[in-house]
Structure 1
C-alpha cells in the first residue's frame, strides 16, 4: 500500500484535519494532537493497515522563533511491509511552566512507554495518560530539557562541574 493510499484512508476515517506531505524525502502525515490516540488505534486495528509496530517516537524543538515542537511517530506493518510517519505539531509553551502535551500511545504499543519517556526527559514533551512518565536517561532532579533549542546547561550538578 502506498503512502497516498494510507493517507486517503485516514482522511476518509477522521476528516480533513490531517495533512499529508508526500513530496518529502520521507513522506509524513500531520494530524492534530487531540486525534493522535484515535488515529493510532485505528492504524493498528484496521485490517487493511495493521501497523503492529511502533519503531520510534521522536520529539524535535523547532526553536523559539517558530514556537513549535514536533512529535514524530515511525510505524511499520510487519506483515504488509509498509511504513508510515506521523507528525504532531505542538505549541512550545515558552511563556508558561506547562509542558507541551500530546496523548500517550503506550496503551496501543508497549514500546511507546520508553520512547515517550525519552522524549519527555530530553525535550520536555508531556504525554497525557502515560503509565509512568518520569525521567529515563537523566537523574530525577536534573533541571531542564537538554535537547531544547534554548536549554541552558547548569554550571554544576551536585558539586560536579558540567562545563
Structure 2
C-alpha cells in the first residue's frame, strides 16, 4: 500500500478532480482534498487502506500570511491519520473560508475526532456539521469570540465567568 494506490483509488472515486492532490515530502505522505470531499476521502483511507487511527486534527489561521491558498480560503484543517497495521501516516489538508467556516465532522469514522473538533471550534470558530456535541471545550460558555483567530482582539474584555458552585461530595456529611 502506497501513495500511488491511494491516488488510483481517489481517481476512481472522484475522477480527475483538480482539487485533490497527493504528494510525498520529507518522508511523509500528504493529500490536499476539497472541503466537500474530505469525509469521503478519509472514509476511503480508513476502509481501504487501514488508516485506523486518527492521530490529530488541528487548524491553522492564514490571515495575512504570504503563502498562496486556494481562492477565498483562510483556514487550513490538517487531519493526521495512522495505520497501526502498516505504520503508514498521511496528512490530509483541507481549506475553509473566513466567513462561516464549516467542515464535515469525522466523529462517525473516528470517535476520537470529538474533542479535536471541539477544540478547533472553540479556538477558531470552525463549525463541524453533524458533530454529536459541538460546544466549547477550553473556554467557558460565555466567552465571546475565538482566541486563536488572528483577528481576535487580545485587549478585548470578556464577560465575567460565573463561579462554579461547589457540589457536596458523596463522602461529605
Q: CA contact under 8 A between 1:7 and 1:29: conserved in structure 2?
A: no
For 1:36, the equivalent position in structure 2 comes to 38
Alignment of 1:117-136 (within 5 A): 117-136=118-137
What does the per-residue CA deviation read over 1:107-147, in whole Å, with 9 as the maximum and x for residues that have no partner? Answer: 00000000000000011111111011000000011111111
TM-score, length of structure 2 as denominator length: 0.79
For residues 128 and 39 of structure 1, the distance between their equivalents in structure 2, rounded to whole angstroms, comes to 16
Query: Which ranges in structure 2 are unaligned for 5 or more consecutive residues?
Result: 162-173
Counting matched residue pairs gives: 152
Q: CA contact under 8 A between 1:55 and 1:74: conserved in structure 2?
A: yes
For 1:60, the equivalent position in structure 2 comes to 60
Q: 58-67 or 133-142, which moves further after superposition?
A: 58-67
Change in Cα spacing, 1:141 to 1:25, as seen in structure 2 (3 Å) is farther
* Higher Rg of the two aligned structures: 2
TM-score, length of structure 1 as denominator length: 0.84
For residues 30 and 115 of structure 1, the distance between their equivalents in structure 2, rounded to whole angstroms, comes to 19
Query: Which ranges in structure 1 are unaligned for 5 or more consecutive residues?
Result: 94-98
- What do you get for the CA RMSD once the two structures are aligned? 2.0
What does the per-residue CA deviation read over 1:49-87, in whole Å, with 9 as the maximum and x for residues that have no partner? Answer: 111000100011101566511010000010111010000
